[in-house]
Amino acid sequence: MREQRVLTLEDAVRKMTGAVASRLSIQDRGVLREGLKADVMVFDPNTIIDRATYERPHQLSVGVRDVFVNGVATVRDSRVTGATPGQLVRGPGYGRNH
């Protein structure tokens, strides 16, 4: 997909972050702004790739340097820290079938 240049990097990031949060009416996610939950991934756009396949779904991605969830480092220098600061996020459709 990267080689085909179907999307710009900026459009791809927007579609995976702010656009999803907006579509699901999740107000405190999807953009970096003071007072909101800070979920940030630092990656190399030239090397990032998902190695998971249907047969081997638990393969780690390559090219991710750092990940911060709710402002806490969960990956530093491409190594998992063990921190688990995530929170369950429920959109407006939650509870319709429960």
- Run of H or E including 64: strand 64-69
Length of the chain: 98
Would you say 66 and 41 are in contact if contact means Cβ atoms under 8 Å apart? yes
**pLDDT category of residue 28 using cuts at 50, 70 and 90:** confident
Would you say 49 and 63 are in contact if contact means Cβ atoms under 8 Å apart? yes
Q: Between these two residues, 90 and 98, which has the higher pLDDT value? A: 90
Q: For the whole prediction, is pTM greater than 0.95?
A: no
At 66, the amino acid letter reads: D
CB neighbour list of residue 11: distance below 8 Å, 6 or more residues apart: none
CB neighbour list of residue 18: distance below 8 Å, 6 or more residues apart: 30, 31
SS3 19: helix
**pLDDT given at position 25:** 84
- The closest of 70, 16, 67, 76 to 38, measured between CA atoms, is 70
